[in-house]
Structure 1
């Protein structure tokens, strides 16, 4: 048990995301000895991720950084680089645009997601390296690790956990922690 605690305190190198039995849009996240319920894409998981398919990519994705709504609570303690979300922050999901799968600022006409959402999903939002450092048009955008909707409703392709579980995970996450969807 002591070795498990030591590994968690130092930060796990990998979080495993496995499909939950009986529901393709639900998953189990394992972090060392801890397990958490999660929501994943409405289309389940895929090895052939495409923009708009509603699937979570089966891949090993490093955590790059995160965003947090500072107006909805204190900044979480984490070694992961975090930025406060501002109202003008958007994420481009228009495959033909040069800023595809990148943070952009309003005003921005091409298709995008608002980072400062009213539904709270991105109150804590972590950027996984899916199609970010090496982009491919139509390869999928905005694949985040974020907060759940009530009832663990499916995501558009992200991994989502409860606020309580996110806080527990953030305490041990750092840049480079791998989220492995299997």
Structure 2
């Protein structure tokens, strides 16, 4: 099913656990992992919280050979091992941006040993209107087994990421509620 309007994905906290949520997209209701500190309206770098916000879906990254490429209607870039990373150094000019390795400041590698970034969607948290220290690398990505908490992202199972694909489109928004 391909939505006719620009999709809205809504995340709310699951009852009884502030580190887990329910992601709604059209008729889908999916389990998801949230930040280790739950959700916050005062997001800061390294706080482990998922921002309460409405964020545009900007683009996506896929690691070939690790997961079927979801049929998202976003620009999807290929993750290259030892090349692609995301700057999380709040004092660097490239803060909260894609960077190429080697990189002189702190940056998170997109090609990870685990499966978390086999497919990820870049959310517009602190990107278009960037403020140093307000948080970086807020993605929709693949969840850890058992839906263990994230560092501030929203994460779903690999199979649910494939089910979400028709809703992952340019102009779509992911809204995290309290």
TM over 0.5: yes
2:148 matches 1:148: no
**Structure 1 stretch 9-18 or stretch 99-108: which is displaced more?**
9-18
Match in the other structure for 1:28: 22
Q: Secondary structure at the match of 1:24?
A: strand
Q: What RMSD, in angstroms, separates the aligned Cα atoms of the two structures? A: 1.2
2:50 matches 1:56: yes
Match in the other structure for 1:164: 159
CA contact (8 A) 1:12 1:31 kept: no
Q: Secondary structure at the match of 2:3?
A: helix
Number of residues of Structure 1 aligned to a counterpart in Structure 2: 176
CA contact (8 A) 2:6 2:171 kept: no
Scaled by the length of structure 2, the TM-score of the pair is 0.95
Match in the other structure for 2:115: 120
**Structure 1 stretch 166-175 or stretch 42-51: which is displaced more?**
166-175
Scaled by the length of structure 1, the TM-score of the pair is 0.93
Q: Secondary structure at the match of 1:168?
A: helix
Distance in 2 of aligned mates of 1:173 and 1:32: 12
Match in the other structure for 2:34: 40
**Structure 1 stretch 117-126 or stretch 66-75: which is displaced more?**
66-75
- CA spacing shift, 1:11–1:36, aligned 2, 3 Å: farther
Query: Whose helix fraction is larger, Structure 1's or Structure 2's?
Result: 1
How far does the alpha carbon of each residue in 1:11-65 deviate from its partner, in whole angstroms, 9 at most, with x for none?
6521000000110100000011210000000000000000000000000000000
Of residues 174, 177, 182 in structure 1, which corresponds to 2:172?
177
Distance in 2 of aligned mates of 1:156 and 1:11: 31
CA contact (8 A) 1:67 1:84 kept: yes
Give the unaligned 5+ runs of structure 2. Answer: none
Match in the other structure for 1:99: 94
